[in-house]
Every structure is written in structure tokens, then in C-alpha cells.
């Protein structure tokens, strides 16, 4: 591990001022966008009671966006590292859709009581455990194949996503309307209308996951070298990969609970983060990805909400831009 660090260290130091500048600019964008969302066009005098009520309401939105952006960005980078490629992302591989299926199946088989009985931290925990268990089984099995071919994986993941989507719609159709109401209230949040009660729990979970990720940032660097090299360097490869997949599943389920599926967001953010970070080390890439995610989502939200008055469009625009971006990336890779 030490060898890896010293080898990549010179590149890192040469670029350090420029990287730091980029980091600073991104942080500035995040802060500006956050302040913008909070205070732009607030009715009432700054400092008055009405002003603070409005700001209070908006704080929930800002916190949700920041949290979701962090989740998506970090989950995508982790997934890239764990699966040793930079095309697959958890969302494209159908993690979000899997989460929706699991939630729907929970209500479908056990009734809506199952959802309300598992409220608060317990709810998060139970759902995450289920989700993680299933995701690890499924994707662990998918990636375990020695003959694993990237394109097969990707296609399987995309089709899995479609299949899970259809499966959950079928089950939702079969629910009684009251069960469906409860389910959809739990399932499909959106950016401007998020659940303030759930937020602290989500923040807690995400903070814990991020702490674990940050602690293992150096191990992640080794993991990125691939299976054989990391085994050689003394890493228990399989265990590390499974731990990372577990963390990814937790992050994605938190993000999906709060704002629903976002297929291409993680892909855009992670790909740009690799370019901007100027280093493959996770201690650089991870903060960059998180900041970039927040900057993009907060900035997009601010522009759409206060310039174009079309806050609901954000996810559609992400889908469009992300799809084009992914297509171009795939084509450039495919033709090489």
C-alpha cells in the first residue's frame, strides 16, 4: 500500500495548487447555490419572522439535495472501484429499481402495516438489511463469474432495471388503493417535497457510511488495482468488495427513499470527478465527487426553480443530459 501511495504522490504534488483551486471553486459554487436556494425571492424582510419560516422550510430541501448528491456520487465511485470499471453505476445496474421492488414486495406480501411498523431508525435498518442482502447476493453472484464480461453485465443490469420496474408496477397495480397510497407516499419523494422527519435518520446513516468509506480510502486505492494485484498486496479482496457493495446499497436506498430513482446522475458526477480530481486516489476523488454532486444538483435546482420556474424538470433534464453523456462515452469506448 505504501508503495502505491509514494508512486502516485509526485503527480499529486505537481498538480496540487490547481486541484486545490478547483476544489475551492466547487465549494464556492455549492455554498453560493445553497445560499441562493435558501434566500432567493423569500417573502418578507431579511431577518423578519416570515423570512425565517421560509428559510426553515427551504433548509429541508437543501439538506435533502446535499445528502442525495453525496449518496449518489460516493456510491457510484465506490461501485466503480469495487467492480473495476467506470461504466457501470449502481443506478444504471438497477439498484434503485431493486429498492422499489423490495419496498413494493414488502407491502404486497405483508400489507402496509409492515411499512408503518418499521418506522424510524428501525425502518431504515430493516429495509437496508433486506436490500443489502439481496443486492449483495444478486450482484455478488453476477460479478463473481470469472468469465464476467463487462458488456453482458451492463446489459443484464439495464434489463434487470427494466424488469424490476415492470415487476413493481404489476405489484402496485394489485395493491388495494389504501396500501398503494401508503406505499407511494413512502416511495416517491421528490426534490422540492421531501420528508423532514426522515431527514435526520438519513443524515445519520449517510454520515456513518461516509465515515466508514473515508476510513477505508487507502484500501479502496488498492482495491482499484484489480483483484490479482490487491490480493498480492495483502487485501482480502472478496470481503472488501462485498463490504463496498453493502455500503453502495445503503447509500442508494437512502437516496431513492428521499427523491426516487436518478438513473444517470451518479455516472455524470463520477466521470467528471475523475477528470477534475487529477488523481485516482480516493482521498481526492471522493470529496471531489461529493462536492461536484452537490454543486450540480443544488445549482440545477436553483436555476430551474428561480430562473425557469420549473423545479419538477430537474430529474428529466438529468436523465436527458446523462443519457446523451453516457451514450457518447459508450460510443467512444465502443469504437476504440
Partner 1 sequence: MTSALLRPRARLALPMAVTGVAALVVLSLFVGAYDLGVDDFGAEMFFISRVPRTLALVLAGCAMAVSGLIMQLLTQNRFVEPSTTGTSEWAALGLLVTVLVAPAAPLPVRMVVASVAAFVGTMVFIGILQRISLRSSLVVPLIGIMLGVVVSAFTTYLAVSTNSLQMLGTWFMGSFTSIVRGRYEVLWVVALVVLLVFLYADRITVAGLGRDIATSVGLDHTRVLLIGTGLVAVATGVTTVVVGFLPFLGLVVPNLVSMWRGDNARANLPWVCLGGVAIVVVCDVVGRIVRMPFEVPVSMILGVVGSAVFITLLLRMRAHG
Count other Cβ atoms within 10 Å, centred on residue 146: 5
Count other Cβ atoms within 10 Å, centred on residue 46: 9
Please report, in angstroms and rounded to a whole number, the separation of the first and last CA atoms in the chain: 32
Q: By CB under 8 A, name the one of 20, 28, 144, 174 that touches partner 1.
A: 174
Query: How many residues touch partner 1 (CB under 8 A)?
Result: 37
d(CA 124, CA 152): 32
Q: By CB under 8 A, name the one of 152, 185, 207, 211 that touches partner 1.
A: 152
Q: By CB under 8 A, name the one of 5, 27, 158, 303 that touches partner 1.
A: 158
Q: By CB under 8 A, name the one of 9, 35, 137, 155 that touches partner 1.
A: 155
Residue number with CB closer to partner 1 (44 or 145): 145
Work out whether 319 is an interface residue with partner 1 (CB under 8 A).
Answer: yes
Q: In this structure, what DSSP letter does residue 234 have?
A: T
Residue number with CB closer to partner 1 (57 or 152): 152
Considering only the stretches 67-75, 115-123, 272-280, 325-333, report the one whose residues sit in contact with partner 1 under the rule CB under 8 A.
Answer: 325-333
Count other Cβ atoms within 10 Å, centred on residue 311: 18
Work out whether 317 is an interface residue with partner 1 (CB under 8 A).
Answer: yes
Q: By CB under 8 A, name the one of 105, 156, 199, 303 that touches partner 1.
A: 156
Q: By CB under 8 A, name the one of 68, 160, 220, 223 that touches partner 1.
A: 160
Query: Per CB under 8 A, which of residues 243..272 are in contact with partner 1?
Result: 263
Considering only the stretches 70-78, 105-113, 141-149, 250-258, report the one whose residues sit in contact with partner 1 under the rule CB under 8 A.
Answer: 141-149
Backbone angles phi, psi at 190, to 5 degrees: -140, 175
Structural contact between residues 62 and 37, judged by C-beta atoms closer than 8 angstroms: yes
3-state secondary structure of 188: coil
Work out whether 148 is an interface residue with partner 1 (CB under 8 A).
Answer: yes
* Nearest-10 crossing angle of helices 150-174, 177-187: 140
Comparing C-alpha atoms, which of 246, 243, 270 is closest to residue 325? 270
Q: In this structure, what DSSP letter does residue 145 have?
A: -
Work out whether 200 is an interface residue with partner 1 (CB under 8 A).
Answer: no
d(CA 306, CA 297): 14
Residues that bind partner 1 (CB under 8 A): 145, 147-149, 151-152, 154-156, 158-160, 162-163, 165-167, 169-170, 173-174, 263, 310, 312-313, 316-317, 319-320, 323-324, 326-327, 330-331, 334-335
Amino acid at each position: 500500500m505504501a508503495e502505491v501511495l509514494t508512486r502516485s504522490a509526485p503527480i499529486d504534488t505537481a498538480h496540487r495548487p490547481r486541484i486545490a483551486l478547483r476544489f475551492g471553486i466547487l465549494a464556492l459554487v455549492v455554498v453560493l447555490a445553497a445560499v441562493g436556494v435558501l434566500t432567493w425571492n423569500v417573502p418578507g424582510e431579511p431577518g423578519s419572522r416570515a423570512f425565517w419560516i421560509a428559510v426553515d422550510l427551504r433548509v429541508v430541501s437543501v439538506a435533502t439535495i446535499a445528502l442525495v448528491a453525496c449518496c449518489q456520487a460516493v456510491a457510484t465511485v465506490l461501485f466503480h472501484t469495487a467492480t473495476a470499471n467506470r461504466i457501470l453505476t449502481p443506478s444504471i445496474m438497477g439498484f434503485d429499481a431493486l429498492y422499489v421492488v423490495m419496498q413494493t414486495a414488502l407491502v404486497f406480501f405483508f400489507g402496509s402495516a409492515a411499512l408503518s411498523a418499521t418506522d424510524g431508525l428501525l425502518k431504515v435498518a430493516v429495509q437496508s438489511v433486506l436490500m443489502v442482502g439481496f443486492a449483495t447476493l444478486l450482484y455478488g453472484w453476477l460479478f463473481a463469474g470469472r468469465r464476467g464480461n463487462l458488456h453482458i453485465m451492463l446489459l443484464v443490469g439495464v434489463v434487470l432495471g427494466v424488469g424490476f420496474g415492470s415487476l413493481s408496477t404489476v405489484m402496485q397495480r394489485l395493491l388495494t388503493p389504501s396500501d398503494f397510497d401508503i406505499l407511494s407516499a413512502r416511495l416517491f419523494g421528490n426534490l422540492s417535497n421531501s420528508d423532514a422527519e426522515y431527514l435526520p435518520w438519513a443524515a445519520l446513516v449517510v454520515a456513518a457510511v461516509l465515515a466508514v468509506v473515508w476510513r477505508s480510502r487507502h484500501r479502496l486505492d488498492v482495491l482499484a488495482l484489480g483483484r490479482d494485484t490487491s490480493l498480492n498486496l495483502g487485501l482480502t479482496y472478496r470481503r472488501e468488495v462485498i463490504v463496498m457493495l453493502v455500503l453502495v446499497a445503503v447509500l442508494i436506498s437512502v437516496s431513492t427513499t428521499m427523491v426516487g430513482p436518478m438513473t444517470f446522475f451518479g455516472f455524470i458526477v463520477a466521470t467528471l470527478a475523475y477528470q477534475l480530481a487529477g488523481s485516482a486516489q480516493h482521498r481526492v476523488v471522493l470529496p471531489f465527487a461529493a462536492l461536484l454532486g452537490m454543486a450540480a444538483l443544488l445549482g440545477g435546482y436553483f436555476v430551474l426553480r428561480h430562473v425557469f420556474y420549473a423545479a419538477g424538470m430537474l430529474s428529466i433534464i438529468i436523465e436527458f443530459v446523462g443519457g446523451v453523456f453516457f451514450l457518447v462515452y459508450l460510443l467512444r469506448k465502443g469504437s476504440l
